[in-house]
Structure 1
Amino acid sequence: MLDERDRKILDLMQANAEMAVNDIADAVALSASACSRRIARLREEGYIARSVAVLDRRKVGLPTTVFVIVRTGKHEAGWLDEFHAAVSTIPEIVEVHRLTGNFDYIIKLVLPNVEHYDVIYRQLVRRVELFDMSAYISMETVKLATGVPTKYAE
């Protein structure tokens, strides 16, 4: 069961996973050793899945975001395995979500430019049969959160 200190530790680590334990401890009114033990427990219990570096996409040459809506006429296990394998092997595909409603999947791509979408499109349709794909270019990122709210954690 998480308490408010645990939630605050998680919030701080989501904002900056490299924050010194002493600074986290000060922020949550704990000793450094007690804070370190809590962080270790949060990792053991799976609340902290991993720590990553968030890159500046412009500096690494991937400023363009494209969302692709996919509809498929196939839903059998073989097709699903092919689709999962196909999207897993294309590094520019950074997120894939299965949807309810009129569409089956939404794919988030990060690209060097809009023209590069055709390269990814060709890679995907060579690997798996799709009924329909529609691409939408992101004009502006209004909100980009790397963390999630911790108030729901138990």
Structure 2
Amino acid sequence: MSDIDHMDRRILIELQRDAEQSLETLGAAVGLSRNACWRRIRQMETDGIIRGRVALLNATRLGLPLTVFIQVRTNAHAPDWLERFSTATRAMPEILGVYRMSGDLDYLIRAQVADMAGYDRLYQNLIRKVPLSDVSASFVMEEIKETTALPL
């Protein structure tokens, strides 16, 4: 964060709120000209601070209302197993995030599916591709907070 100044932070806060706003609107919100905003955004993209811009979709409206967190434990920790696991999980569009964890849990997977049958298909597909020691799942009953905005 030391490579960005206060104005960059303000721009990033605004872009996290609405990345689709015009440069004129953004400039007015942060107190810069359109061109100055554009130059700063381009530099942050070049520096890898801004990785991309996406549309946030409503999973429920698209028929994928069930969020599941899958806890994975494995006895295999060899590089070839990790490569198979990484390749398998990256290829499954239902899987939105995969995290290697500290503590008792080896991996945490976040997935979005239509229903329990959709989860079961995902589970069966995953265990066909890579051996796992222990798999358990928790299903989201209520989403209290979900954001992509970083605390700047």
TM-score, normalized by length of structure 2?
A: 0.95
| C-alpha distance in 1 between matches for 2:45 and 2:83 | 31
Q: How does 1:87-106 map to 2 (within 5 A)?
A: 87-106=89-108
Gaps of 5+ in 2: none
Q: Which amino acid aligns with 2:86?
A: H
Q: Which residue of 2 aligns with 1:67?
A: 69
Q: Deviations over 1:45-104 (max 9, x none)?
A: 111110111111112111110100000000001111110111011110110000000010
Q: Which residue of 1 aligns with 2:38?
A: 36
Which of 28, 49, 52 in structure 1 is aligned with 2:51?
49
Q: Which residue of 2 aligns with 1:81?
A: 83
| C-alpha distance in 2 between matches for 1:32 and 1:111 | 41
Q: Which amino acid aligns with 2:142?
A: E
Q: CA deviation at 1:32?
A: 1.1
State percent identity of aligned pairs: 40
Q: Which residue of 1 aligns with 2:29?
A: 27
| C-alpha distance in 1 between matches for 2:46 and 2:80 | 35
Q: Which amino acid aligns with 1:5?
A: M
| C-alpha distance in 2 between matches for 1:88 and 1:31 | 41
Q: Which residue of 1 aligns with 2:132?
A: 130
TM-score, normalized by length of structure 1?
A: 0.94
> SS of the residue aligned with 1:94?
strand
> SS of the residue aligned with 2:82?
helix
| C-alpha distance in 2 between matches for 1:19 and 1:114 | 38
Query: Which segments of structure 1 move beyond 2 Å, counting only runs of 4 or more?
Result: none
> SS of the residue aligned with 2:63?
coil
Q: CA RMSD in A?
A: 0.9
| C-alpha distance in 1 between matches for 2:58 and 2:34 | 31
Gaps of 5+ in 1: none
Work out whether 1:16 is the aligned partner of 2:18. yes
